[in-house]
Structure 1
Amino acid sequence: YINYQCLKIKMMFVTLLAKVFNHLPDKSFDHIDCCFSGLYEIPQKLRWRTKMKFIFTVYDLTPILFPQYFELSDPKKHFLYKAFTNIKKDWKVFCISKCTKKDFLNFRPDFPAENTFVSLLAASESFYKCNSENKFMQVREKYNLPESGEYILSLCTLEPRKNLVTLLLAFDEYVKRTGNEKVKL
Structure 2
Amino acid sequence: MKIGYDVSQTCSSKSGTGFYADQLIRAIAKQDKGNEYYLLPRFYDYIQGEDERATTVEQQNFKNVVVQEFSDKDALFGSLDIVHSNNFRYPKDIRAKKVVTIYDVSFMDRPEFTTEANRMFCFRGTFDSVMNADIIVAISEYTKERIKYYFPYINDDRIRVVHGGNRYTLLGEKENVETIMEYGLTSGEYFLSVGTIEPRKNYETLLKAYRDYKESNRNGYKKLCIAGGYGWMEENFSAKIKKYGIENDVVITGYVSDNVLANLYRYCYAYVYTTWYEGFGLPVLEAMNFAKPIIASNVTSVPEVAGEAAILKNPENYGEFASAMDELARDESLYDKMCGLSAERAKVFSWDNAAEKMISIYNELGAK
Calculate the TM-score normalised by the size of structure 2: 0.38
CA contact (8 A) 1:89 1:111 kept: no
Three-state SS of the structure 2 residue aligned to 1:85 is: helix
RMSD: 3.4
Q: What letter corresponds to residue 168 of structure 1 in structure 2?
A: L
Instruction: Decide whether the 8 Å contact of 1:89 with 1:112 is kept in 2.
Output: no
Kindly tell me: are residues 70 and 172 of structure 1, through their superposed partners in 2, closer, same or farther at Cα, counting changes over 3 Å?
Answer: same
**Correspondent of 2:70 among 5, 21, 25:** 21
- The one-letter amino acid of 1:184's match is K
Q: Confirm or deny that 1:140 pairs with 2:140.
A: no
Letter in 2 for 1:72: E
Secondary structure of 1:44's partner? coil
* 1:147-162 → structure 2 map (5 Å cutoff): 147=187, 149-162=188-201
Correspondence 1:37 to 2:85: yes
- Between Structure 1 and Structure 2, whose CA radius of gyration is higher? 1
Query: Structure 1: 5+ residue runs without aligned partners?
Result: 1-9
**Aligned residues between the structures:** 164
Identity rate of aligned residues, in percent? 24
Q: CA deviation at 1:19?
A: 8.7
The aligned amino acid for 2:123 is: Y
Are the aligned partners of 2:139 and 2:161 in contact in 1 as well (CA < 8 Å)?
yes
Segments of structure 2 that go 5 or more residues without pairing to the other structure are 1-41, 48-65, 225-368
Instruction: State the alpha-carbon separation in 1 of the partners of residues 159 and 140 from structure 2.
Output: 11
Structure 1: distance between partners of 2:118 and 2:216: 44
How far apart, in 1, do the equivalents of 2:75 and 2:218 lie?
Answer: 71
Contact 1:34-1:53 within 8 A present in 2 as well:
yes
Which residue of structure 2 aligns with residue 101 of structure 1? 144
1:167 counterpart = 2:206: yes
SS in 2 for 1:153: strand
1:92-135 Cα offsets, whole Å, 9 max, x none, are: 111111211111111221211222121122233233398x8xx2
Residue number among 117, 120, 126 corresponding to 2:169 in the alignment: 126
- When residues 12 and 31 of structure 1 are mapped into structure 2, their CA distance, relative to the original with a 3 A threshold, is closer
Q: Say if 2:91 and 2:98, in contact at 8 Å, map to a contact too.
A: no
For 1:39-118, list aligned pairs within 5 A: 39-46=87-94, 49=95, 52-72=96-116, 75=119, 78-87=120-129, 88=131, 91-118=134-161
How far is the alpha carbon of 1:35 from its aligned partner? 1.5
1:123-163 superposed Cα distances (whole Å, 9 cap, x missing partner) = 33233398x8xx2422233222235x432111112222321
Secondary structure of the structure 2 residue equivalent to 1:80: helix
CA distance in 1, matches of 2:111, 2:176: 40
